[in-house]
Chain A
Amino acid sequence: EVHLVESGGGLVQPGRSLRLSCAASGFSFDNYAMYWVRQAPGKGLEWVSGINWNGGIIAYADAVKGRFTISRDNAKNSLYLQMDSLRGDDTAVYYCVKVLRPFYHYDMDVWGQGTTVTVSS
Chain B
Amino acid sequence: QSALTQPPSVSGSPGQSVTISCTGTRSDVGGYDRVSWHQQTPGTAPKLMIYEVNNRPSGVPDRFSGSRSGNTASLTISGLQAEDEADYYCSSYTSRTTFEVFGGGTKLTVL
Task: Say yes or no for A1: interface residue by CB 8 A criterion.
Answer: no
State whether A44 touches B34 (Cβ < 8 A). Answer: no
How many A-B pairs fall under 8 Å by CB? 65
- For residue A24, give the distance in angstroms from its CB to the closest CB of chain B: 15
Q: Is A57 an interface residue (CB 8 A)?
A: yes
Interface size bracket, B side: 20 to 34
Once bound together, how far apart are the Cα atoms of A32 and B40, in whole Å?
A: 23
Q: Is the pair B93, A44 in contact by a Cβ cutoff of 8 Å?
A: no
In the complex where A95-B45, A108-B38, A114-B45 touch, is A50 in contact with B99 (Cβ < 8 A)? yes
Instruction: Please give the residue numbers on chain B whose beta carbons come within 8 Å of chain A beta carbons, in ascending order.
Output: 2, 34, 36, 38, 40, 45-48, 51-52, 57, 87, 89, 91, 93, 97-105
Main SS at interface, chain A = strand
| Chain B minimum-CB-distance residue to A107 | B51
Q: Give the contacting residue for A107; candidates B2, B34, B105; CB below 8 A.
A: B34
Question: Would you mind naming 15 contact pairs between A and B with Cβ atoms under 8 Å apart?
Answer: A35-B100, A44-B105, A47-B100, A50-B100, A59-B99, A95-B46, A100-B51, A105-B99, A106-B100, A107-B36, A107-B52, A108-B48, A109-B48, A109-B57, A113-B45
